Structure 1
Amino acid sequence: MSVTNMPRQFPKITLSEVDEETRLLAEKVYASALKEEDTKDALSMFTVPEDCPIGLHQAKERELLKELAEQHSEESAKRKKSFKMIRSQSASLQGLQIPVTAEWARSVVTPFLSPSSTCSSLPENCPEYQRVTISGDYCAGITVEDYEQAAKTLMKALFIREKYSRLAYHRFPRTVAQFLRSAENQTWKEEDEVLPDVCPCPREGEDPYSIENIPDNLSYELQTKDGIVYVYENAEALSQNRPRSLPYPDLETFAIDLSHVLAMIVDGPTKTYCHRRLNFLGSKFYLHEMLNEMAELKELKGVPHRDFYNVRKVDTHIHAAACMSQKHLLNFIQTTYKTEADRVVLEKGGRKLTLREVFEHLNMDPYDLTVDSLDVHAGRQTFHRFDKFNSKYNPVGASELREIYLKTDNLIDGEYFARIIKEVSHDLEESKYQHAEPRLSIYGRSADEWDSLSKWFIQHKVHSTNMQWIIQVPRIYDIFKSKKLITNFAKMLENIFLPLFEATVNPQKHKELHVFLKYVTGFDSVDDESKHSDHMFSYKSPKPEQWTADENPPYSYYLFHMYANIMVLNNLRKERGLSTFQFRPHCGEAGSITHLVSAFLTADNISHGLNLKKSPVLQYLYYLAQVPIAMSPLSNNSLFLEYSKNPLREFLHKGLCVSLSTDDPMQFHYTKEALMEEYAIAAQLWKLSTCDVCEIARNSVLQSGLSHQEKKHFIGANYLKDGPEGNDIRRTNVAQIRMAYRHETLCNELSFLVDAVKTEAAIGLINTY
C-alpha cells in the first residue's frame, strides 16, 4: 500500500510470516549479547585491531574465491550488466531512477556524470566545487550476489524504520523517503511528509502559563491493556471492547521486525558491504576536505554578521539536576545559607529542620565549602563505575542537600531547584544563541507525579524561551518492586502514561498539566545501560501485567512499551490539534548492541550512540536513515570511553547526523558556558574547522524539540529541504559546498540500494535490446 493512503493503523505481522532462519538467527544474536554482558565490559579497553593479519588474510582469500567463481557465472554476468545499465542509463530510463524533486540533484544520483551535467543545473546559491566521483564497476570488491543481498536487507530495514517513524509522528528524511518511493515505483509527495507538532514559543507579552482557551473535555473512556493505554468513544464502547481507530502497537509484530534487523547485523555479506561503504565515506570526506577546505572557508568569510559564536546551538542532551556548574551550585548554597539560614527546608524522622540545622547535623559550615569538598565532579574514579557516578548527585555526599536543592517535590515545593534552573536559563537568554533541552524525571511509582511536576513548573514560573523540556523515565522498576510500591510493570507504565491521556482527553480537569505539556517536547529512557538482564526479549516475553518478578525488564522491553504509548498518545493529540512528543532515549552508551537495534525502530533520535562503532551494519543504517545522535565526549571520557577514542569525529566525517551535548555540566565541566566548553575542546583536540562546528550546531537545531517556526527563524525558511536548497548560509554559517557534498553523497549511497531492488526489471530491459 502506498504511503499516500496508508491508514493510521499498526500493520500487524504473524509469526508464520517470518522466516524461521531469521528468527533463530535473531535469538542467537540476543543470546550472544547476553553472554557478552556477563563476560566483559561494555567497551573493552583492549580492543582487537581491525587489521588483524590472520583474519584479514583469510577474509581476502574467501572474497577472491567468490569473485573467481562469479566470473564464470552467466547469471552473475547478466546481473552485473543490469546494474551497470541502471546506473549509466539514468537519463533515458527515468522510470527506473530516483524522482528527486530538485533538478540539480538528479545528476548526482549516478556516479557516471558527464562534465557538463554537474554544473549546468546547480542551484544559483551553490558554488561549483571539486567533486570526487568513482567510475567503472557497479561496486568493486564484492560479488553481485553479496551486493544484491546486502542492498535488499538494508532497504528492508529502512522501510521498517519509516513505518515506525510515520506512525509515531517522528521525523523521517525527505531524501530517504523519495528513494523508498522510487523503489516501489511511486512518487513522493510533500503532503505525505509526517512531522512532529511542537507548540511555538509564546509571543512577546503573552502569558506562557495562561489557562485560558483550553479545549473542552471529551466523553472518551481510557483503559490500560497489555501495558498500552486504549481509548474508547464512550462507556458503551469500553464495555464492548471497541477502541477508537488509533494505531495500537502489537508486541509480536515489533518482535518480528526487531528480529529482521537483528539477523541483518550479523549477516556476512551485509557486514562486508557496510564496512566497505563506511570506509569509503570516511576516505571520500578526507579527499573532499583536501580539495575544498579553502573554498568552504572562502564562502564563510563572505557571510556578513555570522560566525560560530552567533549561530544557534542547542544542548540536545542535558539533565536538569546537573544543568548548573559546580561553582554555580556552591555559590547558590552559600547564598541561601547567608540569607535564609533559619528557613525550614527539610523534614527528617518526623522533625522539621531549618537550613542551619541541616548543616549542623552534617557537621559543616557552608562558608568553608569549596568545589573540591562539594565533591560533585566526576573523575578517574568514576570510569566504568556508574554507581559511583550516581553518588555525585549528592553534594558533599549528603542526600539531604540533594533533597533540598535538586528536587522538585520536597518540603519547600522545589523552590531552590527552580531558582537554580531560572538562573541557568537567564544565562542562556543573555547569550541569546544557546538553547538547552533539560530532562526532568517522572518515575512511575505513583499516578500523582505529573500533577506535582506541572504544579512546580507553573508555580515557580520556570518557562524560558531558551529551554525545551524533556521527561526522562529511569529504568528502575526493580527498585520500586522490591519496595512494594508497585505490583507489576503494567502499573509503572500506567502511572507514567495514563495521566497524559487523561489530560489530553479532559484538559479542563487537568489545566496545569495541559499547560505544562505544551512545553514538553519528548521522552527519554535513562539508566545504566551496562546493567545485565537475564531475560531475552521476544514475542514470548510476558505481558506487562504478568511481569511481577523482582527482576528489571530488558532494555528493548522498556523501549517498546514507551514507544507504544507515545505513538498512541501522539495520534490522539494530533486529532485534538495538540502538540506531539518525540522519543529520544539514551542508547548505545554501553551494554548490548541490541539496544541500538531497538532504538533504530522506535526512537526519533538517540543520546550517545558509542556502540555504533562496534557494528558496521547499524552504523551504516543510522547514516542512511540520518538518525540524529546527541554525543557527549566529555561525559563519556569520565564514564565509559577515553576522549581520544570517541567516534564523534569519525561519525561526523562519514556524514552521520551528530550534535554535541553536555549531559551533566555539574559533573563534567568547569566553565559557566558548558556547551561552548564542549565545542571548544572538540575543535581543539580534533582540529575541527569552522564549517565542521557550524555543521554540528545546525544538526543540533534540526534534531531539537524547537518548533517549526523557531527552526525557520534560526536556520532558514527552507530547512526541511535537503542539500543546499535547505541551507540558509546567512543563518547557519555552513558552507553550501558542504551541504551539496553531504546531499550528493547520501543520494549516491541510497541509489546503490535502489538499483539492487530493481535488478529483475533491468534484466528484462536487457533482454529486449
Structure 2
Amino acid sequence: MSSNLPSGTVTGAKNKPLSPFKKRGSLQYAASTVEPRGARHLLTSQHSLPGIPVALKQSIDLRTSMDGKYKEIAEELFSRSLAESEMRSAPYEFPEDSPIEQLEEKRHRLERQISQDVKFEPDILLRAKQEFMKTDSATDLEYMKEQSQAPDLQEREQVPEREYQRVTISGEEKCGVPFTDLLDAAKCVVKALFIRQKYMSLSLQSFCRTTTRYLQELSERPLDLDLYEEDIPETTVTADATVHPPVSETHPYENQDPASMPPDMGYGCKMVDGVMHVYTTRNIMEKSTELDLPYPDLQEYIADMNVMMALIINGPVKSFCYRRLQYLSSKFQMHILLNEMKELAAQKKVPHRDFYNIRKVDTHIHASSCMNQKHLLRFIKRAMKKYPKEIVHVERGKGQTLMEVFESMNLTAFDLSVDTLDMHADRNTFHRFDKFNAKYNPIGESILREIFIKTDNYIKGKYFGHIIKEVMADLEESKYQNVELRLSIYGRSRDEWDKLATWAVKHQVYSNNVRWLVQVPRLFDVYHTKKQLCNFQEMLENIFMPLFEVTVNPGSHPELHLFLQHVVGFDSVDDESKPEQHIFNLDSPLPVNWTEEDNPPYSYYLYYMYANMTVLNHLRRVCGKM
C-alpha cells in the first residue's frame, strides 16, 4: 500500500508519484495527561520498538485547576448524560434556510461577483480597481506586466513575495475575561495538543506541521514526528511544471501471480485481550517469540479519556476556544477585504493553475451514494433494457429476474423518475440518522438497494461495480477531481474482507482518482442479538485477523493484498445521538467477556480499533509495506 495512506492498512513503494490524497488519521480518539512540573510522562505500551517516540517532556508548567479531578468530572458528565438521555429529542423539521446553507450561498454569491468583476487584463484591472486598491496598485500591475513579458524564465522564478496589507492590534489586552481563566484555558488546550501528538506518533500517523512547530517551542527536545512523514520537498511552480502525473500502463489488479507477490514472513498472529499479538513462528506462540510491536496501555488511555472529557465541559476552555475562533474568522474576513484583489492577481500569475485545474479531493462520501440521482436513474433504466431476463435476486428459494422484481412492485421503466427514486438527502435529514439511512433505498425498497448498490448480493455486486466505474470515468475525464469513497466492513464474518476485495478485483473497480476508506458501523448489539456474534472479540477478529494474515503472507489473500494498496484508513460510524448505557473504565469487561445485549460505548470501540490499527501499522512497517 502507498506510503501516503497512513491510517490503517496502507503502504507502498516510496518512489511512486505523489498522490493528491494527504495522510490522515480517520479514527478520532481521545488522548492523555501531561505530568505537572515538566515531569517525563511515558505513553506506556506492552511492547516498544527502539526509537519510537512514545514520550514527551515539557519545559513549561501545565498544571491547571482541574488536576486530580479528571476522573470525578468524567463520571459526573456521564451520569448527567444518562439523566438527560430520555429528555433528548431532535426536531423533525428544520427551517428553510439553515445556517450552513446561508454561509454557502453567501460564499457562492461572493465568488460569482468576483468572477464577473475581475478578469486579469492589466489595463482593464488598473482602471476598474485603482480606487479600491489605492496603495501601490499601479506599481504592482506594471511590475507584473513587465514580468509576464520578460523572456528570461530565471527572472520569472525570482519574483519577490507580494506585500499585503496587515492589521495589527495594539494596546493593553482588555477582553473582559479574567486573565487567570485565559491562562488556565490556554494550558488545557496545549495539554490536549500534546495528548493528540502522542497518540498520532504512536500509530505512525502524520501530525500538523504548523502545530508541531509551536509545540516544539514548549518542549525541551524536538518532536520526532517527521520520522514517519513523507519527505515532500517544497518546490516552486514553474511554467513547465507537470500538469498530469504519470499513470501506470498496467492495471494494478491484473498482476495476481503468486510468484510476484512478497514472500511469506512466517509470522503467527493471535488476539489476546482484544489486541492482536504477532509471533516470530506460527507453531510456538509464546511470550518469548512475540514481536516487539507497541500499542497504547489501557490504563493510560482511560486516564487520557478522562482528561479530554473534563476539558470538553470546562467553562473557561469553551469560552476561550469560542472567542479564539471568532477572532480568527473576523481576522480572515478583514484580510479578504484588504487584499482580495491582490490575491486574485497573484493567483492568476501561477502558470497552468486556476480553481478548476487544481487537484481537489472529496471526502466522507459513501460509495453507495457517490453517484447523483439522475446518474443512478439512467443506470437502472439501462439495466432494465439490457438485462431484463437476468436473475438478480432470490426470494423464498426462487430466482427473480430484474423484470420480475419491478413487476412485483408494479413499476416499469416509464414510471421511474428522480422524484420516485427519492434518494436526495435534504435538510430534513439533518441530525436524523434514521431518515438519512432511508435515503439509501431507491423508491424506498431495500431490494433495489441490494441489487444496485451492494457488493455482496446474488450477482456479486455486478451492477454496483459498473456504476462505480462510470463515476470513476467521469472523474478521470475531469482530471482534477479525486474522491475518497467509503466501503463498509461489519465484522460479522471472517470472509468479509475477501468478498470485498474479490468484488473490486473481479470487476476491476479501480481509478487513480479514487482511494478507499473502510468504515466499521458500531452494530455489535444488533449482531449479538441475532446470534451472529458470541462476544466483542469475535467481531474484532473478523475485522483485523485477515489484515494481519495478508500482511504476513500476501499469497494467502491475493485479491486482498492488491485491494489494500488503495485503502487509506479506518473510520467508526453510527448514530452518535444514541445514549450510552456504559462508561469505559478499568472495570469494563474485556472483549472476550463482553457478551451483554447492550452495545459497548464509543470509547470502547475506539480503543480496541486504535490499538489493533497501531499494531498493524508497525507490523506493515517491519514487513516493508509502509
What TM bracket, shorter-length normalisation? 0.7 to 0.9
Residue 21 in structure 1 maps to residue 72 in structure 2: no
Report the equivalent of 1:283. Answer: 330
Residue 211 in structure 1 maps to residue 256 in structure 2: yes
Report the equivalent of 2:163. Answer: 128
Once residues 174 and 413 of structure 1 are traced to their aligned partners in structure 2, the CA distance between those partners, rounded to angstroms, is 44
Residue 558 in structure 1 maps to residue 605 in structure 2: yes
Report the equivalent of 2:145. Answer: none
Per-residue CA deviations over 1:691-748 (Å, capped at 9, x if unaligned) read xxxxxxxxxxxxxxxxxxxxxxxxxxxxxxxxxxxxxxxxxxxxxxxxxxxxxxxxxx
C-alpha displacement of 1:305: 3.5
Report the equivalent of 1:370. Answer: 417
CA distance 1:386–1:509, shift in 2 (3 Å): same
Once residues 157 and 389 of structure 1 are traced to their aligned partners in structure 2, the CA distance between those partners, rounded to angstroms, is 33
Once residues 46 and 343 of structure 1 are traced to their aligned partners in structure 2, the CA distance between those partners, rounded to angstroms, is 43
CA distance 1:567–1:128, shift in 2 (3 Å): same
SS in 1 for 2:276: strand
CA distance 1:268–1:124, shift in 2 (3 Å): farther
Once residues 182 and 160 of structure 1 are traced to their aligned partners in structure 2, the CA distance between those partners, rounded to angstroms, is 16
Report the equivalent of 2:218. Answer: 183
CA distance 1:36–1:496, shift in 2 (3 Å): same
Which one is further off, 477-486 or 540-549? 540-549
One-letter code aligned to 2:187:
K
Residue 339 in structure 1 maps to residue 383 in structure 2: no
One-letter code aligned to 2:552:
V
One-letter code aligned to 2:74:
A
CA distance 1:323–1:42, shift in 2 (3 Å): same
Report the equivalent of 1:494. Answer: 541
Report the equivalent of 1:510. Answer: 557
CA contact (8 A) 2:584 2:603 kept: yes
SS in 1 for 2:69: helix
- Give unmatched runs, 5+ long, in structure 1: 13-17, 48-122, 580-769
SS in 1 for 2:455: coil
Report the equivalent of 2:435. Answer: 388
Which one is further off, 510-519 or 381-390? 381-390
Report the equivalent of 1:418. Answer: 465
Report the equivalent of 1:292. Answer: 339
CA distance 1:359–1:241, shift in 2 (3 Å): farther
Alignment of 1:517-556 (within 5 A): 517-556=564-603
Per-residue CA deviations over 1:106-159 (Å, capped at 9, x if unaligned) read xxxxxxxxxxxxxxxxx9653111222233447854444333322222221111
SS in 2 for 1:223: strand
Report the equivalent of 2:186. Answer: 151
Report the equivalent of 1:40. Answer: 88
Alignment of 1:213-612 (within 5 A): 213-235=260-282, 238-240=285-287, 243-379=290-426, 382-579=429-626
CA contact (8 A) 2:93 2:428 kept: no
One-letter code aligned to 1:253:
E
CA distance 1:8–1:189, shift in 2 (3 Å): closer
Once residues 246 and 491 of structure 2 are traced to their aligned partners in structure 1, the CA distance between those partners, rounded to angstroms, is 30
C-alpha displacement of 1:344: 1.3
C-alpha displacement of 1:237: 5.5
| Residue 166 (structure 1) aligned to one of 165, 185, 201 | 201
SS in 2 for 1:153: helix
Which one is further off, 310-319 or 138-147? 138-147
C-alpha displacement of 1:196: 11
Per-residue CA deviations over 1:742-762 (Å, capped at 9, x if unaligned) read xxxxxxxxxxxxxxxxxxxxx
Which one is further off, 270-279 or 500-509? 270-279
SS in 1 for 2:217: helix
Once residues 398 and 461 of structure 1 are traced to their aligned partners in structure 2, the CA distance between those partners, rounded to angstroms, is 28
One-letter code aligned to 1:250:
D
SS in 2 for 1:238: coil
CA distance 1:273–1:357, shift in 2 (3 Å): closer
Per-residue CA deviations over 1:27-63 (Å, capped at 9, x if unaligned) read 222333344443224699999xxxxxxxxxxxxxxxx
Once residues 385 and 152 of structure 1 are traced to their aligned partners in structure 2, the CA distance between those partners, rounded to angstroms, is 36
Once residues 210 and 91 of structure 2 are traced to their aligned partners in structure 1, the CA distance between those partners, rounded to angstroms, is 34
Task: Tell me the matched-pair count.
Answer: 495
Report the equivalent of 1:633. Answer: none
CA contact (8 A) 1:501 1:569 kept: yes
C-alpha displacement of 1:500: 0.3
SS in 1 for 2:514: coil
CA distance 1:185–1:516, shift in 2 (3 Å): same
One-letter code aligned to 2:250:
E
Report the equivalent of 2:148. Answer: none
CA contact (8 A) 2:525 2:597 kept: yes
CA distance 1:139–1:316, shift in 2 (3 Å): farther
C-alpha displacement of 1:193: 5.1
Once residues 193 and 353 of structure 1 are traced to their aligned partners in structure 2, the CA distance between those partners, rounded to angstroms, is 53
Once residues 159 and 225 of structure 2 are traced to their aligned partners in structure 1, the CA distance between those partners, rounded to angstroms, is 23
CA distance 1:188–1:19, shift in 2 (3 Å): closer
One-letter code aligned to 1:157:
A
Once residues 380 and 142 of structure 1 are traced to their aligned partners in structure 2, the CA distance between those partners, rounded to angstroms, is 37
Per-residue CA deviations over 1:85-126 (Å, capped at 9, x if unaligned) read xxxxxxxxxxxxxxxxxxxxxxxxxxxxxxxxxxxxxx9653
Per-residue CA deviations over 1:565-595 (Å, capped at 9, x if unaligned) read 111111111112214xxxxxxxxxxxxxxxx
Once residues 473 and 189 of structure 1 are traced to their aligned partners in structure 2, the CA distance between those partners, rounded to angstroms, is 31
TM-score by length of 2: 0.73
C-alpha displacement of 1:206: 2.4
C-alpha displacement of 1:176: 1.7
Report the equivalent of 1:635. Answer: none
- Give unmatched runs, 5+ long, in structure 2: 1-39, 43-48, 57-65, 96-157, 233-244
Per-residue CA deviations over 1:318-373 (Å, capped at 9, x if unaligned) read 11111111111111111111111111111121111111222222222123211222
CA contact (8 A) 1:171 1:196 kept: no
Per-residue CA deviations over 1:531-580 (Å, capped at 9, x if unaligned) read 2221122333222112111111222222222211111111111112214x
C-alpha displacement of 1:242: 5.3
Q: What percent of counterpart residues are identical?
A: 49
SS in 2 for 1:426: helix
Aligned CA RMSD, in angstroms, stands at 2.9
CA distance 1:218–1:149, shift in 2 (3 Å): same
One-letter code aligned to 1:30:
F
C-alpha displacement of 1:315: 0.8
CA distance 1:481–1:21, shift in 2 (3 Å): same
Per-residue CA deviations over 1:509-528 (Å, capped at 9, x if unaligned) read 11111111001111122222
Once residues 352 and 44 of structure 1 are traced to their aligned partners in structure 2, the CA distance between those partners, rounded to angstroms, is 40
Once residues 621 and 380 of structure 2 are traced to their aligned partners in structure 1, the CA distance between those partners, rounded to angstroms, is 43
Per-residue CA deviations over 1:656-682 (Å, capped at 9, x if unaligned) read xxxxxxxxxxxxxxxxxxxxxxxxxxx
CA contact (8 A) 2:207 2:225 kept: no
Per-residue CA deviations over 1:67-92 (Å, capped at 9, x if unaligned) read xxxxxxxxxxxxxxxxxxxxxxxxxx
CA contact (8 A) 2:94 2:427 kept: no
C-alpha displacement of 1:21: 1.3
Per-residue CA deviations over 1:399-425 (Å, capped at 9, x if unaligned) read 221111111111111111000000000
SS in 1 for 2:188: helix
C-alpha displacement of 1:300: 2.0
SS in 1 for 2:184: helix
Once residues 44 and 267 of structure 1 are traced to their aligned partners in structure 2, the CA distance between those partners, rounded to angstroms, is 31
SS in 2 for 1:134: coil
Once residues 451 and 519 of structure 2 are traced to their aligned partners in structure 1, the CA distance between those partners, rounded to angstroms, is 20
One-letter code aligned to 1:457:
A
Once residues 274 and 135 of structure 1 are traced to their aligned partners in structure 2, the CA distance between those partners, rounded to angstroms, is 21
TM-score by length of 1: 0.60
CA contact (8 A) 2:201 2:225 kept: no
One-letter code aligned to 2:188:
T
